[in-house]
Structure 1
Amino acid sequence: FQYKDHLGNIRLSYQDADLNGSIDPTTEIIEEKNYYPFGLLQKGYNNVVNGTAHPYGYNGKEEQEELGLDWHDYGARMYDAALGRWHSTDNKAEFYFANSPYVYALNTPIQAMDPDGNLVIFINGLGGGGQNYWRTYDKVRIGVTLNRMGNEVPVYRNELRSAFDLNVSDHLGDHNRMYIDGSPGSILNNFTSGQRFSQGYDEGLAQAASIIGSLARDPQGNITETIKIITHSMGGVYGKGFVSALKYYIKTSKDPQVRKALITLVGDFDPFQAGGKLGEADGNTYTQQFINSGWWDIFNAGWLANEEEEGADEVIRNENKTSHFVDTFIGNIDQLQEGTYEWNDDKQEWICTSCKND
């Protein structure tokens, strides 16, 4: 198990080796890590390793210790926590003229993080945000260990069985991913479609500048990457608010390049409460809805989200599937497709030519 702080830093790795439901800090704490603000590991205390050292830490990134470099691998760039600087320039540096292209998180490391040193947006349903919502793990027995009484107890680890998000990225050819919690707070705060639409709209406005800023551009500054949004369950209506806010930000921007930012696809998988006005698809954004509509297995909740969205460009029903869980839609990923669009100079916006409401 791991404990992470608000920046994704792995602070504590531990295990319940004797499976007694509690953690013995003297024997079951595998590793503790504490960091200076820019990610340099604090040494000299609380750093005893009981087991195999974990190579991931600051921001959850892999620590590269070969040749004594002590760098962090963010995918697009290598980061040196001792300096608080990258070893190569930010390929989105044109958005931050007032800052060095080598600084980390705009020199605000306790408030922000650089996710990959550089977009499919995944908006989940009930159950918490992050990539693990979209992935399925199997608990696999890998051996035994001895507890304090000298008795053998089994040792397990989680092994990845399926990764819906990675499969979507592979299919769409876009590995720049972002995860949004589409059911934040308790069920009392997000059960109604109105609550989730408003939450999605507010989050969309808050994230719009950074999302547009993360998109790839050519040397002339033209945006070359599109936005795709994938939702599941309660994230469906939340996503409608999110899309509405993004499109408002794009349309009202005074920057002509920002106004050419384009959402090419919304893929809604078993969206909950999709039949109401707030679940209606945007008429100028290509929208696909996928439904598992089998009703005979009540425990897997396939019946939970059978309403069709008003205005969806394509509705795909799996009549023989009864589960609401996202991993049961992996077979539909190959059917995801982006819409086609043409730029309208008079309206200064993209027009969807493959949408039925174009």
Structure 2
Amino acid sequence: MALSGHPRDEGAADSADDTGDRFMERRSFVRHAGLAGILAAGAAPAVVHAQANIRWRLASSFPKSLDTIYGAADEFSKKVAAMSGGKFQITVHPAGELMPAFGVVDGVQNATVEMAHTAPYYFFGKDETFALGCAIPFGLNSRQMTAWMYEGNGLKLMREFYAKFSIVNFPGGNTGAQMGGWYRKPVASMADMKGLKFRVGGFAGKVVERMGGVPQNIPGGEIYQALEKGTIDAAEWVGPYDDQKLGFNKVAPNYAYPGWWEGGPQLDFFINQKAWDGLSAEYKAIVECAASYAHVDMQGKYDGRNPVALRNLVASGTKLFRFPKDVMDTAFKESMALYAEIGDKNPNWKKVYADYAKFRADQNVWFRFAESGFDDFMQQQKL
């Protein structure tokens, strides 16, 4: 008690009071300014410094050699580390390193890993609704898919669905409209679809089967060997840049377009619910921002690299062909019939698809006038 009257102790008390006041002011600032305000004010380092060190593992469904589609997870991880001052580290593991390519949903659901990067339609066998979070035949294109997610009800509805699997999702990339795959012989009519052993991703296999084909669901890293050995007659992956890297043109020279089953396939980051709930508000904001960056970055890379790759493929002997009208018409008819049948049996699908279909109809009216009108003119010009 005698020490309390000492001048030095009064200074110490004042200092402690000042420190407490500054701490409360900072907490109030953080609470009211939000992340954007903090970053603008240059206060982020002090906020990040207060966060815990965290290390997560991310299981990818893709081989490391595909720097675009696998690379989105790398970009995400780098951004998380940079924005957290290195305190939040996420290691990225290619398909097969921690678990099989098609095992990542189970891995996240069971908390074997904190998160994954994958194409949701791979898991339509668990529930067809997974496909709506990625791509369905004659569905949304990439811009429309992003609009449905962020401006429409897409993210809300898919998160309600994924909650059944203890998963929180974030859009994590889009390839844009894909090509229609590689064939030993070109498809000249519906007759050529009969008995065709076709590696096709996710939900499209159900439609191919209704058209008389024999769909095969094979991970990206195993397609070349299956095509080379004749285990399959045809295979699709993404588009020119990835397809060239995988060497499909060496074993099946006929290249189809368009990939009617993938007008705008979205990749997702899947995060275990408990792991997500354990993050601070600042770390959650960092994850959201990093995922958005990776989402935009992936399509930018595909759109930038595909034209050069396509020219190189054609120069090396690749033969382009367009799916004939009877194939497209049959595929569309069977797709619409399939969606109605699933809706009769699966309430999850029925709820999400109803919103998806309405959004698609509205978007197609808009795109018909502005986007398609402009694109149609420009693609006829000699630039």
Into which bin does the TM-score normalised by the smaller protein fall?
under 0.3
Asked which structure has the greater CA Rg, the reply is 2
Larger strand proportion of the pair = 1
Instruction: With the length of structure 1 as denominator, give the TM-score of the two structures.
Output: 0.24
Instruction: With the length of structure 2 as denominator, give the TM-score of the two structures.
Output: 0.23
